C-alpha cells in the first residue's frame, strides 16, 4: 500500500511539473508567434527571388516588382498594429493554485469515486494479477521525462526529479548521473548533496569512500545539522574503522531527532556499538539527578540486545527493488523457529543498522533476554509477507550471545 502511494505521488509530481512549469516562465503571445512565422516565410520567398535573379529566371525589373509585392503582403499580414513581441507575464498565481489544488482535488476524487479499500493488503493478496501496478509502464513514464530532459538539459529541477525517480526503481547509476547533472546546473544545498552522496555510494557497491565522502563534507560545510549527511559521515568513518569519528558524527544527530523515537534508539545503539569496537566507555543515558536514598540502590541490569548491520550481497543487488520489505529478526538457537524479536525496514535503506531486544519482541513472554544464544536473520520479501516465499532473499548468522554487538548479516541467498 505504501508503494502505491509513493508511486502515485511521484508520477503525479512529474505530471504536475510539466503543467506548472510553463506557467512560471515568460510566454510570447500567439500573435507574436504568428508574426515571427510570417516573417520567416516571407524571408524564404525573398531569398528565392534573389536566386531566380542570379540564375537569370527573372529580369531586374521583374525581380524588383515581385520584391515590392512581397514586401507589401508581408506588411499586410504581419500588421504594424501587432506591436513588438512582448512576453506575457509568468502566471505564477495560477501555477501556485494548480500546485496546491490539483493534488487535493485528485485525492478527493479518488476517495469519492475510487476504491481506497482495494489497497488493503488482504484485498491486494486476493486481487487478480491484471490489477497490479505495471512496473514497466511506470518506468516508461520516467523514460519520457529523461527524453524531455535530453531536449532541455538546463532544467535542473527536472534532473532532480529524474534522479529521485531512478532511485525509486533501484537504478542507482542513472540516478547518480542525474544528480550530477542537477548539481552542475544549480547551487546545491546540503540535502541535495547528501542525497547525491547516498545514491553514488549505492552505485559503487555500497561504499562511501571517495567521491561520496567529498559530497558529504560539502553538505556538512553548508549545513552542519543536515541529518542524512551526519548519518552518512558516521557510517563512512565506521567503515574505515575510525570509530571515534563515527561516534562524534552520530552524537551530533541525537539533538536533531525526537528523544524517545525509534530513530533516536537506533542512533544510540550505533554509538554504543562504535564505542565498544573502539574500546571507548559506553556513555550513560542522561537523566535527572538521583535522590540521595536512590543513590545507594543497586544498578539495574542492562537488558540483553543484539545490534549490528544488515547488508545486501552485490551479486543480488540488481534483483532487489528499494521498496521491497526487509525483515530483521532473532530466533532461539535451539527449539522453536518462531522469531523472538523483529524489526521491519525497506531495501532502499540497506545497509542498515539494527537493534533487537525485548522492546521489539514478537509476543509477550517470548523475550530475547531469556535465550542465552540466538540466530540473527534478515530476509528481503517481495510480497511484504512475514512468511518466506520463493523468490525472497535471505541471510543469517549465529548462534550469537543475546548481548552481542557488531553482528553483520549479509543477505546473499535466494529462498527456493
Which string of b and e fits 180-209 if b means at least 16 CB within 10 Å? Answer: bbbbebeebebebbbbbbbbbbbbbebebe
Residue of higher predicted confidence among 167 and 43: 167
Residue 1 confidence (pLDDT) above 80 = no
Torsion of CA 27, 31, 36, 37, to 10 degrees: 110
What is residue 73's predicted lDDT score, i.e. its pLDDT? 65
Lowest mean pLDDT, pick from 143-157, 194-208, 272-286, 369-383: 272-286
What is residue 214's predicted lDDT score, i.e. its pLDDT? 92
| 301-305 mean pLDDT | 60
Residue of higher predicted confidence among 304 and 228: 228
Is residue 301 classed as helix, strand or coil in its secondary structure? coil
- 389: its cell numbers: 516465499
- Among residues 382, 347, 354, which one has the least CA distance to residue 368? 354
How does pLDDT run across 255-282, given as a tens digit for each residue? Answer: 888 887 777 887 888 888 788 877 776 6
How does pLDDT run across 19-36, given as a tens digit for each residue? Answer: 656 655 544 445 544 555
Residue 369 confidence (pLDDT) above 70 = yes
Residue 228 confidence (pLDDT) above 60 = yes
What is residue 330's predicted lDDT score, i.e. its pLDDT? 87
Tell me the pLDDT band of 83, cut-offs 50, 70 and 90: very low
- 192: its cell numbers: 541535495
Q: How far, in Å, CA of 34 to CA of 41, rounded?
A: 11
Residue 85 confidence (pLDDT) above 50 = no
| 196-209 mean pLDDT | 84
What is residue 120's predicted lDDT score, i.e. its pLDDT? 52
Residue 217 confidence (pLDDT) above 90 = yes
Are 271 and 370 a contacting pair, CB within 8 Å? no
Are 271 and 251 a contacting pair, CB within 8 Å? yes
What is residue 301's predicted lDDT score, i.e. its pLDDT? 45
- Among residues 232, 393, 208, which one has the least CA distance to residue 318? 393
Tell me the pLDDT band of 342, cut-offs 50, 70 and 90: confident
Residue 154 confidence (pLDDT) above 90 = no
Residue 200 confidence (pLDDT) above 60 = yes
Tell me the pLDDT band of 332, cut-offs 50, 70 and 90: confident
What is residue 94's predicted lDDT score, i.e. its pLDDT? 61
Residue spans per domain, the chain: 28-88, 305-414
Distances in Å between the Cα of 22 and the Cα atoms of 25, 67, 161, 163, 288 are 6, 39, 17, 21, 58
Highest mean pLDDT among 96-105, 139-148, 315-324: 315-324
Tell me the pLDDT band of 9, cut-offs 50, 70 and 90: low
Contacts of 16 (CB under 8 A, 6+ apart): 98, 99, 102, 103
| 342-358 mean pLDDT | 88
Tell me the pLDDT band of 378, cut-offs 50, 70 and 90: very high
Longest dimension (CA), the chain: 119
User: What average pLDDT is seen over the chain?
Assistant: 74
Are 170 and 163 a contacting pair, CB within 8 Å? no
H helix count then E strand count, the chain: 14, 10
Radius of gyration of the chain (CA): 31
Amino acid at each position: 500500500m505504501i508503494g502505491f502511494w509513493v508511486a502515485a505521488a511521484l508520477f503525479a509530481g512529474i505530471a504536475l511539473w510539466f503543467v506548472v512549469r510553463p506557467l512560471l516562465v515568460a510566454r510570447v503571445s500567439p500573435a507574436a508567434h504568428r508574426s515571427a512565422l510570417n516573417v520567416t516565410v516571407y524571408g524564404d520567398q525573398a531569398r528565392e527571388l534573389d536566386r531566380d535573379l542570379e540564375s537569370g529566371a527573372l529580369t531586374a525589373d521583374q525581380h524588383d516588382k515581385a520584391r515590392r509585392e512581397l514586401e507589401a503582403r508581408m506588411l499586410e499580414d504581419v500588421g504594424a498594429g501587432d506591436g513588438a513581441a512582448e512576453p506575457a507575464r509568468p502566471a505564477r498565481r495560477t501555477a501556485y493554485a494548480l500546485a496546491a489544488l490539483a493534488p487535493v482535488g485528485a485525492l478527493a476524487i479518488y476517495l469519492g469515486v475510487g476504491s481506497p479499500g482495494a489497497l488493503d493488503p488482504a484485498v491486494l493478496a486476493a486481487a487478480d494479477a491484471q490489477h497490479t501496478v505495471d512496473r514497466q509502464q511506470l518506468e516508461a513514464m520516467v523514460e519520457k521525462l529523461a527524453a524531455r530532459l535530453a531536449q532541455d538539459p538546463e532544467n535542473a529541477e527536472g534532473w532532480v526529479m529524474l534522479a529521485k525517480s531512478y532511485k525509486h526503481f533501484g537504478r542507482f547509476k542513472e540516478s547518480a548521473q542525474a544528480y550530477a547533472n542537477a548539481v552542475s546546473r544549480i547551487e546545491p544545498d546540503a540535502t541535495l548533496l547528501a542525497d547525491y552522496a547516498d545514491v553514488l555510494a549505492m552505485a559503487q557497491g555500497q561504499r562511501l569512500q571517495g567521491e561520496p565522502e567529498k559530497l558529504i563534507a560539502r553538505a556538512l560545510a553548508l549545513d552542519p545539522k543536515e541529518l542524512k549527511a551526519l548519518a552518512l559521515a558516521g557510517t563512512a568513518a565506521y567503515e574505515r574503522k575510525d570509530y571515534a569519528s563515527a561516534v562524534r558524527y552520530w552524537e551530533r544527530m541525537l539533538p536533531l531527532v525526537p528523544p524517545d523515537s525509534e530513530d533516536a534508539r537506533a542512533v544510540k545503539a550505533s554509538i554504543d556499538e562504535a564505542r565498544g569496537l573502539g574500546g571507548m566507555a559506553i556513555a550513560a543515558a542522561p537523566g535527572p539527578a538521583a535522590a540521595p536514598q536512590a543513590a545507594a540502590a543497586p544498578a539495574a541490569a542492562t537488558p540483553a540486545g543484539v545490534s549490528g548491520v544488515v547488508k545486501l550481497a552485490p551479486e543480488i543487488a540488481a534483483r532487489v527493488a528499494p521498496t521491497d520489505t526487509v525483515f530483521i529478526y532473532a530466533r532461539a538457537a535451539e527449539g522453536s523457529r518462531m522469531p523472538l524479536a523483529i524489526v521491519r525496514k525497506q531495501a532502499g535503506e540497506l545497509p542498515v543498522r539494527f537493534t533487537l531486544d525485548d522492546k521489539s519482541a514478537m509476543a509477550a513472554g517470548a523475550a530475547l533476554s531469556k535465550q542465552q544464544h540466538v540466530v540473527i536473520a534478515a530476509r528481503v520479501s517481495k510480497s511484504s509477507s512475514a512468511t518466506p516465499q520463493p523468490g525472497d532473499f535471505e541471510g543469517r548468522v549465529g548462534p550469537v550471545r543475546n548481548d552481542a554487538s557488531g553482528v553483520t548479516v549479509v543477505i546473499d541467498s535466494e529462498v527456493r
